Chains A and B, each alone.
Chain A
Amino acid sequence: MFDKPRAVASRACVAVGRCQLASLHALAVSAVGSLVVLALLLMPVGVGFRLLPPAARALRVLSDRSRSRADRWTGVRIGPPEPLPADRALNARKRSGAIIADEGFWRDLAWAWLEPVTGGLLVAVPLALVEYGVFGALVQPFVWRLINDGNWYAFVPVHSTATMCAALLLGLAFMAAGLLAAPATLRLHARVSRPLLSASRSVQLARRVERLAGTRARALDTQAAELRRIERNLHDGAQARLVALGMTLDRATRLMETDPAAARELLLDVRRTSEGALQDLRNLVHGIHPPVLADRGLGDAVRSLALDSFLDVHVETRLPGRLPAPVESAAYFAVSEALTNAAKHSGAREVGIVLTHENGLLRATVTDDGHGGADPSRGTGLAGVRQRLDTFDGTLDLHSPQGGPTTVTMEIPCALSSPKTCSS
């Protein structure tokens, strides 16, 4: 929003270039779409069966390219349809049959017919503005002397220095308008194409069901493992210490009469054991759900993390209320892991943590001033965090170029559970 003008200008120029690419692409789509229709029409004479599979595949290559461009250029994500059926063992007739039965193929074809008309025209608008603007600004100042009356530039009849200047300014205005319109046009183009480019609703739902089944199974696994860990921890820790404590007390009771000094020693031992048991329980509780998180919510819990870190950690929170407890917990452990990684591996001195909740999305970013080059595939910490966030449809992005800085961004869609009641 407050970018430098140069950055805005270069982005606009890139966007115009992309409009040019997209409009050429629309021509290719139109040609391949016609080829597919030709193949369909030639099916009764047999040639169509041979022609259809390669033509359909070529069309899919084009639609795939459009989808990836929509994501790369404008951030509009479009879920692709299922891959075209391509069983090499079948003969041409059966393969064509499978393609015709495929829903994605018909959506591709519908898109191929509409794209040149809607998308192609849309991206041509900024192009036409810029190109006509260039004509006005560069050609009109020189050409009006060479040609006679009837030389119009838009609504300006160019026949004198004054009108030439008007045409020049108008041309510059057209160029500016085209440049300004280009990024927005690309976004609009991606959005207009989305309904036909994306997978059908049933395919999307099937995928979602598959994903949910996967994350649910993993969540249950994680939960079961967590319960086992707690059980083992209690069994080997506090429980064992309490048994030892009982035995020591028993011996102390028996020694009370005969050897009070030894009994006293044993009782001191009992106290140490009970302190150890308490410490075990404390560590366990903190690992399950830190008390400050339960008391105060995510913001203060992260502030508490920051106070314990030996790095200089600056925490900025813009959370208008409490979040659902499971989300708070997942976000807390995610931030904790990111902070631990920064302390262990990055060589950073300062870390900035920002927590925001906007439009139903909790976003946590952890940025350190270390040397970067973090490899997300190495180590299990971030993978575990990613898996945990997955259960909430959350995402984790690691951006860590060589030389730093490293930024970990976590996003979890969630609603606020209650307005903020305490001001601290």
Chain B
Amino acid sequence: MRVVLAEDLFLLRDGLIRTLQEHGCEVVAVDNGPSLLRALLEEGDAAPDAAVVDVRLPPTFTDEGLQAALEARRRRPGLPVLILSQYVDQLYANELLAGGEGGVGYLLKDRVTHTGQFIDAVRRVAAGGTVMDPQVIARLLSRSDARGTIGGLTQRERDVLELMAEGRSNAAIAAGLHISESAVAKHTASIFTKLRIHPSADDNRRVLAVLAYLKR
């Protein structure tokens, strides 16, 4: 798998390159916005399978990385991009999800310390999935709590909803909560009935539907 990595801090870039290479990725590292955009739009053999992008990049040190990623996805819809940031913001999450194509991820930089989970996120994004940071989801859930839109769920259903919104598959949810996959399936069916979300067999559609519900 060919991964474009955009990170300007040397220490972090070095660590990420090593981690990705250890897991069989071919890494193209860039350290600023314009070269990121060029690398993302390469054609043919040089075309990336996925990108891991730091939000803040030179030359402006604002949201250069995010802007380049959004621009690349406008030109190549569905281009898998995993955004890393020191701080997650709902506004940026919404912008990434706006297209509804999947193949996007938005994680706190801290998550790269859990190598296994980080690589898993890269793979899921590359496969067209959606990965949202637990902190984004936690904020959406606490907002939904305050608005009373998920009041009817049991605690276990809430836990399942949280993991579903993060973009995890039934198998991953089952492993995370130490329950069986069929139990997860039962919970998800119950959640969809209670929240009146149209159930979908497609994992990515399911994530987007859940996120759309939480954002209401």
Contacts and interface: CB of A to CB of B under 8 A. Distances in A.
Given A308-B139, A308-B143, 11 more contacts: A279-B110, A291-B86, A291-B87, A291-B89, A292-B91, A294-B62, A295-B55, A295-B62, A295-B63, A304-B91, A308-B90
Given A295-B62, A296-B62, A278 B90 contact: no
A186 B91 CA distance: 49
Contacts of A279: 110
Nearest to B149: A310
B87 A282 contact: yes
A296 to B, nearest CB: 7
B19 interface: no
Contacts of B85: 291
Contact of B92 (A275, A278, A292): A292
Nearest to B145: A310
Given A294-B62, A296-B63, A310-B146, A286 B110 contact: no
Interface string B91-114: 110110000000000000010010
Contacts of B91: 292, 296, 300, 303-304, 307
B146 A275 contact: no
B45 to A, nearest CB: 33
Nearest to A349: B147
B188 interface: no
Given A285-B87, A304-B89, A310-B143, A274 B63 contact: no
Interface residues of A, number: 22
B140 to A, nearest CB: 9
Contacts of A271: 113
Interface of A is mostly: helix
Interface of B: 55-56, 62-63, 67, 85-87, 89-92, 94-95, 110, 113, 139, 143, 146-147, 215
A410 to B, nearest CB: 22
A271 B85 CA distance: 19
24 contacts: A274-B113, A275-B110, A275-B113, A278-B110, A279-B110, A282-B86, A285-B86, A285-B87, A291-B56, A291-B85, A291-B86, A291-B89, A294-B62, A295-B56, A295-B62, A295-B63, A296-B62, A296-B63, A300-B91, A303-B91, A304-B90, A307-B90, A307-B91, A307-B215
Interface of B is mostly: helix
Contact of A286 (B62, B87, B94, B95): B87
A295 B139 CA distance: 21
B89 A424 contact: no
Contacts of A146: none
A424 B113 contact: no
A285 B86 CA distance: 10
A298 to B, nearest CB: 13
A294 B67 CA distance: 14
A422 interface: yes
B89 A292 contact: yes
B34 to A, nearest CB: 15
Given A271-B113, A275-B110, A307-B94, A422 B67 contact: yes
Nearest to B215: A307
Interface string A263-276: 00000000100110
A271 B117 CA distance: 14
B90 A424 contact: no
A278 B84 CA distance: 14
Contacts of B143: 308-310
B94 to A, nearest CB: 7
A291 B113 CA distance: 22
A424 B95 contact: yes
Nearest to A282: B87
Interface in A399-424: 422, 424
A193 B215 CA distance: 56
A424 B147 CA distance: 28
Contacts of A300: 91
The 5 A-B pairs of least Cβ separation, nearest first, read: A310-B146, A307-B90, A295-B63, A304-B91, A295-B62
Nearest to B109: A278
A105 to B, nearest CB: 58
Contacts of A286: 87
Interface in A329-362: none
Nearest to A297: B62
A286 B139 CA distance: 15
A215 B91 CA distance: 35
Interface centre among A275, A292, A294 (most CB of B within 10 A): A292
A293 B70 CA distance: 19
Nearest to A275: B110
B10 to A, nearest CB: 19
Interface centre among B56, B86, B95 (most CB of A within 10 A): B86
Contacts of B87: 282, 285-286, 291
B12 to A, nearest CB: 13
B66 to A, nearest CB: 8
A323 to B, nearest CB: 15
B58 to A, nearest CB: 14
